[in-house]
């Protein structure tokens, strides 16, 4: 079988047009969604993502502010900046670009963001709300994956989903979203025995590992849906995912490429969450 390539960029653009329309409606009510992105230090990759996020905001008619802080900033100074943004009526979403320097406690930082402005969906309140099926900000990459499948017409209920990776930002929440949509979910990680035995059972396989070419044709069942979350650089410095694309696309039914797969959806769902936050702020005031 030759896999159908899921065009994440195209689906992201379609969704962004819908978001832009909602933004303009909200503006007529006097509210312009505003996103604050905090970048600590000078990580090259982080800078690229942050630039993409700002560009997307502008395209959709939203406000964005980039707050660049030096690597050496103290935890207390960062927390004060977040508190200032928590109080700012013009700001509906706050994102602290990860990773942050080691001397700052990441958990403390995430928990200091108002759950009402936590557009990353990383705050324990939003994670708990997601787990119990309540209204919540859903984490952008997992949410983007669900939208990709929905837009492609791939049903989830009853499917066996195998997630490779269990990070708090991708692996764990993506499995939870699939469970919420009635899939049967298996998590694999670095201590998993017989990884191939598990991945070969997958109707839908999610690769969120961070290692180039980690998932090969041998891991994949004929006709499976393969979602590649990885954003890595290969030896040649080229952007690549976790999946050996050429060989796996000979065997899978559907596959997402890198770039132009999951990545553009992550940013789109961030825009969606910022819009959602701005719309909900109207009802609170």
Ligand X SMILES: Nc1nc(=O)c2c([nH]1)NC[C@@H]1CN(c3ccc(C(=O)N[C@@H](CCC(=O)O)C(=O)O)cc3)C=[N+]21
Q: Which residues are catalytic?
A: 53, 97, 120
Phi then psi for 28, rounded to 5 degrees? -65, -25
Distance CA 35, CA 19 (A): 14
Q: Is 152 in the site for ligand X (CB under 6 A)?
A: no
Query: Is residue 209 a contact point for ligand X (CB under 6 A)?
Result: no
| Contact partner, 127, from ligand NDP, ligand X, none, Cβ < 5-8 Å per class | none
Nearer to ligand X, 66 or 239 (CB): 239
Contact flag: residue 259 with ligand X (CB under 6 A): yes
The separation between CA 177 and the C-alpha centre of its own chain, rounded to angstroms, equals 12
Asked whether position 273 contacts ligand X by CB under 6 A, the answer is: no
Which residue number, 31 or 177, has a Cβ lying nearer to ligand X? 177
Q: Which residues sit at the interface with ligand NDP, rule CB under 6 A?
A: 141, 164-167, 169-171, 188-192, 195, 208-210, 229-232, 262-263, 266
Provide the mask over 102-141, with x wherever binding to ligand X is found by CB under 6 A and - wherever it is not. ------------------x-------------------x-
Residue from the set 48, 90, 135, 155 that interacts with ligand X by CB under 6 A: 48
Q: Which of ligand NDP, ligand X, none interacts with 95 (beta carbon under 5 to 8 A by kind)? A: ligand X
Do residues 2 and 59 make contact, with C-beta atoms less than 8 angstroms apart? no
Select the span of 187-195, 196-204, 215-223, 257-265 touching ligand X (CB under 6 A): 257-265
Burial of 222 (0-12, 13-18, 19+ CB in 10 A): exposed
Write down the least CB distance from residue 278 to ligand X, Å: 19
Using the rule CB under 6 A, is 40 a contact of ligand X? Answer: no
C-beta of 176: minimal distance to ligand X in Å?
17
The binder of ligand X chosen from 96, 149, 177, 208 (CB under 6 A): 96
Q: Binding residues for ligand X, per CB under 6 A?
A: 48-49, 52, 95-98, 120, 140, 231, 239, 258-261, 263-264, 266-267
């Amino acid at each position: 079988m030759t896999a159908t390539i899921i065009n994440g960029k195209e689906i992201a653009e379609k969704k962004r047009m819908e978001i832009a329309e909602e933004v303009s409606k909200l503006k007529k009510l006097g509210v312009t969604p505003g996103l604050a992105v905090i970048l600590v230090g000078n990580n090259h990759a982080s800078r690229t993502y942050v630039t993409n996020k700002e560009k997307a905001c502008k395209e959709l008619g939203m406000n964005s502010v980039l707050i660049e802080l030096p690597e050496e900033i103290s935890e207390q100074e960062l927390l004060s900046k977040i508190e200032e943004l928590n109080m700012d009526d013009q700001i509906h979403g706050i994102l602290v670009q990860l990773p942050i320097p080691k001397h700052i406690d990441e958990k403390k930082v995430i928990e200091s963001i108002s759950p009402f402005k936590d557009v990353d969906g990383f705050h324990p309140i939003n994670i708990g709300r997601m787990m119990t099926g309540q209204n919540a900000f859903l984490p952008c990459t997992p949410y983007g994956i669900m939208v990709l499948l929905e837009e492609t017409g791939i049903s989830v209920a009853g499917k066996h989903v195998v997630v490779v990776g269990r990070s708090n930002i991708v692996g764990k929440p993506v499995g939870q979203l699939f469970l919420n949509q009635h899939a049967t979910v298996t998590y694999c990680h670095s201590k998993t025995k017989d990884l191939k035995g598990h991945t070969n059972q997958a109707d839908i396989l999610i690769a969120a590992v961070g290692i180039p070419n980690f998932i090969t044709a041998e891991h994949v069942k004929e006709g499976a849906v393969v979602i590649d979350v990885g954003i890595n650089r290969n030896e040649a410095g080229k952007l690549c995912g976790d999946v050996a694309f050429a060989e796996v696309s000979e065997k899978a039914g559907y596959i997402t490429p890198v770039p132009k797969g999951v990545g553009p959806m992550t940013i789109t769902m961030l825009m969606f969450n910022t819009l959602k936050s701005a719309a909900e702020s109207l009802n609170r005031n």
